[in-house]
Structures are given as structure tokens and as C-alpha cells.
Amino acid sequence: MAIEPLTPRETDFINTAADGIELIELINHPNFRLHLDVKAMTGSESRPLPEVIKASAKYLHHFHANDPNLLGPGMGEVDHRPIMKALKEIGYKGYISVEVFDYSPGAETIARKSIQYLRQVAAVA
């Protein structure tokens, strides 16, 4: 199980990675981990996202690549290069999934553009 911090617009419980880590440490079970999400982090975290990722390395189990505009990575304002670089630096080997909420461009378009963009930024990170 992995706890996903969300923005204060979405919940009043576990809004930052630090909040999630605090709960993980309280529960103290090896199968309870952290799930980070770019959209949520941009709406909740006061530190740059690469810093949050590095501080969360010990607990990180899953990662959502997306954008606050509710589309996929590379389809909004967030530069995912420093994010991918931070994931590489911490040796993250888990899944990176694309989570979107606005499907107006079409699922195939979103998937194609997101995968292409993530491959591009991962290559230079």
C-alpha cells in the first residue's frame, strides 16, 4: 500500500510528502510506502520537486507523472527534466505512470505525447 499526498483542494489529510512520511514512520510496516504525484506536489509542496523527491527516496514506491493542467507530462508548464533527474539520482526503479484527468485530446494522443516526452526528458536527465 502506498499513501499519495494530495493538495488541500482535494483533502485535508496528508498534503505533503513529509506528511506521508510521518504517517509511514508511525505505521512502521515495510509494505506501507509513499506514492508521489507531480500535480499534487506542485499544489502542496513549498520546496522544489527534486528536493522533495530526494528527501522521500527511502519511502518512495510509485510515481505519477502529470501536470497541474490535468493533462499528461509535457502537455503543460511543468518541466519534468529535473524531476526525472532526481528520480535517477535516488536510484528509483519503480513504475512511473501517467495520470490525467482531462481526456479531451484523446487517450491515444495523451499516451503517445506523454511517453514521447518522458523518454525525451529521461534521456537528458
Query: For residue 114, which of 77, 79, 72 has the smallest C-alpha distance?
Result: 72
Does 99 participate in catalysis according to the annotation? yes
- The active-site residue out of 10, 45, 51, 99 is 99
Does 22 participate in catalysis according to the annotation? no
- The active-site residue out of 4, 45, 89, 108 is 4
**Residues that are catalytic:** 4, 99
